[in-house]
């Protein structure tokens, strides 16, 4: 008898569901729909057109744009920090002849977190490895690590990208090489006899990489169209600071901060390349240190 009752209950549930299938698509109040993102009809990276007429290119772009669109907290933070860090990055890209779109590569690499440090031990906004940093002229040690120096790391990234562009002939391939390395790109170009990134078969991370960069370009151009309600007042403003030169043989960063009307915490925020409390300046270098215009110390 119990078994018969259970069967009747199950059948009645399915009957109710079948009687009004439209209810399956009615969202409860307050629940936002999940939609396929709209891709701009014309899309380019660094002046190079994205062949959206190719189904694989279009699907890859939709997939990565979906990730960026629905990774809400990460994308929101990246969007809000763009004004602060792009004001530092853009002039350096322009000075070095690197297309402006490469600022979105920094977003894809680090979400514009100047303290970013990956499991592979890449560091800073541009996620540079220690060995590569040394090759590109950056100082890397326990007390000073210029991979976290926004301007100097951007200069280093420009050197790499310019060299990659000269080697591969397209900015899209140069961007891909930033992820998988120039040797990795060159080897696959030779094996596959191709010249366009969009024809390249590479590791999945590299295949997604350029589309991830493009996704940040698309969303930042029109954030509200992708669900990010950000007003002009919500963007983090550029830091206000002055610069002093320091070349002491032994530098006490806490004392330096206090002597200049701030604290170690804010000194580090403006100068994330400072990695310790003291620095022995064996090479007699002159360091340009940002000092906030406002006194942030608690009274």
Q: What is the pLDDT of residues 102-129, one digit of tens each?
A: 999 999 999 999 999 999 999 999 999 9
pLDDT at residue 13 greater than cutoff 60: no
pLDDT at residue 188 greater than cutoff 90: yes
Q: What is the percent of the chain where pLDDT is above 70?
A: 91
pLDDT confidence of residue 296: 73
Average pLDDT over residues 241-266: 96
pLDDT at residue 53 greater than cutoff 90: yes
pLDDT at residue 11 greater than cutoff 50: no
Confidence of residue 253 (pLDDT cuts 50, 70, 90): very high
pLDDT at residue 7 greater than cutoff 70: no
Q: What is the pLDDT of residues 15-49, one digit of tens each?
A: 444 444 445 556 677 777 888 889 998 899 999 99
When comparing pLDDT for 26 and 232, which is higher?
232
pLDDT confidence of residue 204: 94
Average pLDDT over residues 273-286: 96
Choose among 102, 261, 223, 230: nearest CA to 171: 102
Average pLDDT over residues 247-258: 97
Q: What is the pLDDT of residues 130-183, one digit of tens each?
A: 999 999 999 999 999 999 999 999 999 999 999 999 999 999 999 999 999 999
pLDDT confidence of residue 35: 87
pLDDT confidence of residue 97: 98
């Amino acid at each position: 008898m119990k078994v018969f009752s259970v069967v009747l209950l199950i059948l009645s549930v399915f009957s109710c569901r079948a009687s009004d299938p439209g209810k399956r698509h009615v969202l409860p109040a307050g629940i936002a729909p999940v939609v396929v993102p709209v891709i701009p009809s014309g899309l380019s990276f660094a002046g190079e057109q994205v062949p959206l007429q190719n189904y694989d290119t279009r699907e890859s772009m939709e997939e990565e744009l979906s990730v960026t669109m629905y990774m809400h907290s990460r994308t929101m933070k990246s969007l809000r920090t763009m004004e602060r860090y792009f004001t530092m990055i853009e002039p350096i890209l322009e000075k070095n002849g690197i297309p402006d779109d490469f600022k979105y590569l920094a977003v894809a690499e680090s979400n514009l977190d100047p303290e970013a440090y990956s499991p592979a031990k890449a560091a800073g906004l541009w996620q540079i490895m220690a060995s590569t940093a040394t090759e590109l002229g950056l100082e890397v040690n326990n007390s000073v690590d210029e991979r976290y120096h926004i301007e100097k790391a951007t200069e280093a990234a420009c050197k790499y990208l310019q060299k990659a562009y000269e080697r591969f002939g397209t900015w899209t391939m140069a961007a891909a090489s930033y992820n998988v390395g120039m040797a990795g790109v060159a080897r696959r170009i030779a094996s596959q006899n191709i010249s366009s990134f969009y024809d390249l078969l590479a590791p999945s991370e590299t295949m997604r990489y350029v589309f991830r960069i493009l996704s940040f370009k698309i969303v930042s151009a029109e954030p509200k169209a992708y669900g990010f309600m950000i007003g002009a007042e919500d963007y983090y403003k550029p830091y206000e600071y002055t610069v002093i030169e320091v070349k002491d043989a032994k530098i006490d960063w806490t004392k330096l901060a206090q002597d200049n009307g701030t604290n170690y915490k804010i000194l580090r925020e403006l100068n994330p390349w400072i990695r310790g409390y003291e620095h022995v300046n064996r090479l007699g270098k002159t360091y340009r240190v940002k000092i906030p215009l406002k006194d942030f110390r608690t009274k």
